[in-house]
Structure 1
Amino acid sequence: RPELLCGALALGCALLLALKFTCSRAKDVIIPAKPPVSFFSPRSPVLDLFQGQLDYAEYVRRDSEVVLLFFYAPWCGQSIAARAEIEQAASRLSDQVLFVAINCWWNQGKCRKQKHFFYFPVIYLYHRSLEYSGTLSSVAHPSLLVI
């Protein structure tokens, strides 16, 4: 019976094709994240390390007297709300304080790989410490008294 043979061949081919496609390794259907963009405007006095450059943040922190580090996630509502406040403070205090913002959410940035924050934004204020090796008398150095 030729029609039975043709039907069996067609069914066999269909089963082989179905087996091939279901058992083959499927490619991941993941779209890579878009590269990050600046969180602050280009005219802002805030140094925006939007690629999570933690090394550079550490470098400028060591070189400056007073530094405010603002760790943010660009999608976070609280980070977005704090952005305007940080920018206003930086406009007023940029001659005294270096304001540095770091995107700590981008998965390829060093900040995301090294820091593990549970919430955003996170703000650190650093004041370079001064080493004093003189006498420890407030009478000898009244300027050492802090009230």
Structure 2
Amino acid sequence: MQNNVQTINGVTWFDSIEERNAFLKQNGRHEFALEEAAKNAKQYLKLLDVIEEKTQIDVYSKLDSGTLLYGYVVLEPKKKYKITEDKVLLEALRNKTIQKRYDSTMEEILKGAKIPYEVKKCNSCGGRIQKLFYKPVIVVETETKK
């Protein structure tokens, strides 16, 4: 069915909506699974310590064909994960910023833990609502000295 699918400059083109829907069904919102790291691992990624609930983070990866595959990762609090070999996925996790409705308690928690954050007004509602922006994932990569 996907004989007429082309990828040009990272954009996938289809000859019909049926081909597009079949591709999305097969490759759409993919859950990227990360392996748990050993307790004493020197290289790992994890959620910020101040996040106390399981969190789904939207990310992407690049297929061998060059096409971006969009999906998500579900991370649990206080759990360390192995750093993935997929460099595109790792950068997506490292650079992901989430936004939450402003909460003064959460702002104090972020400030107390010295976690960088921003408070911005929502553009779509004319600035009536404030939002907190911060990066939820910490990537720890310690170098070994030779």
TM-score bracket for the superposition, by shorter chain length: under 0.3
Q: Under a length normalisation based on structure 1, what TM-score does the superposition of the two structures give? A: 0.22
Structure with greater proportional helix content: 1
TM-score, normalised with respect to structure 2: 0.22
Question: Between Structure 1 and Structure 2, which shows a larger proportion of strand residues?
Answer: 2
